[in-house]
Structure 1
Amino acid sequence: MSKLIPYQPLVLRLLHGIAGLLAISALITGFLVYNTYDGRFGSIPLPLLPDIQGIHGTFGLFFLLIFPALAIYSFHWGYRRLLFPDFWSRLTHQVGKPGWWVNLQRLLNTAMLLAATLSVVTGRMMQEAWLPAGELHHVWYRLHLTAWLVLLITLLGHIAMGLKVGGVPLLLSMVQTKYRPEESPYLWIGYLREKFHERFGR
């Protein structure tokens, strides 16, 4: 592996990759749902896809299943990629410096996790009958639209800051297939058993 490409933990790459693909799929199908049933803020003349709402819900469900693992990893092992308590002073006193861009990246990462949380919560609170019936006034739908927009903006910002802070090598590091021997998936079951016995064993 090239020294120019930083090493990322295997679990992070897997969770990040799966959650990223599901989030992008949910964003695309979410727009198609809006484009089909709403369109009040503008729409695109696209062919209607049968059961697009169900397709969007399926991606949302799978994202809901993987998201808790990503959130736990992010707040426990990946906390250095999220906001620090002094983020505001860094954001206002280090403008334009390398540390300022890193801090902005952490802000976007944190905002993206919060937007994803709002997306899955509001999505589960919606009823499938609302949009086909033209019921666009529900608070949960409006919050879901807001979460979609924030998630889209923060995702684009996440990619842009990745290029700004780490460049192409950082992006390539997230799609590497090699991993260290101690991170082998064959060891995961033993690791989970050990942690389980440490917590619940006697």
Structure 2
Amino acid sequence: RLPLTVSALSASITHVRAEEFSDIRTYGAPEVISDIMLFGKTPEEAAASPMTALLGGGFMQSMDMVADELGFDIDAEPQVKHEMAVATAPIDSPIGDIAPGHVAAQRFTWEYTVRGETVITVRVNWFMGQDNLDPPWSFGPEGERFEVSVKGDPDSHVTFHGWHPESVAAGLERNPGIVVTANHCVSAIPYVCRAQAGIRTYLDLPLIAGRAAPHLHR
């Protein structure tokens, strides 16, 4: 949805990117972090992570929608990459200390190409903080965020802040990113209910918007 909205501001588009930068310590699901995401495991164990397929199944539906609407003649096979960084010293986390040599950060990338040229990229960067990582990955000066970038005439770059908690402790109490996900689903309900029966995407529905706070509502 957001990449398509931003894309309307550009012509002759050659690349669309959506990317997340998050401290995974704020994700209050320790079993998922340890047993499915495989943080705290050895790189060899984490290489078998099901997240590439689990996330890819969802992300590539969105990538298909973007490709279809923008008119990209995508190649048959997507490009998928799973990168890891290990701890160089014990890292405190909700699943216990991450031992040196064990996985403390992961980066998943999905790309669609047209005749070998990358045209759509979706990437998640999940770190157990920014300290004591090898390679020394970081969120950079902008910190945790979500980005949407469109290369075209002209380029457009949008950064979203506010969807991450102020601290690890705050995130374990209430994570704005989880709330955003839920709000998005709830906001879509009236539009989906009014739509004709069948499978519908953002391309079929009108603009989905939130609602005013109860004390301000007409």
Same fold at TM > 0.5: no
How high is the TM-score relative to the length of structure 1?
0.29
Give the TM-score normalised by structure 2: 0.27
Between structures 1 and 2, the one with greater helix share: 1
Which of the pair is proportionally richer in strand? Answer: 2
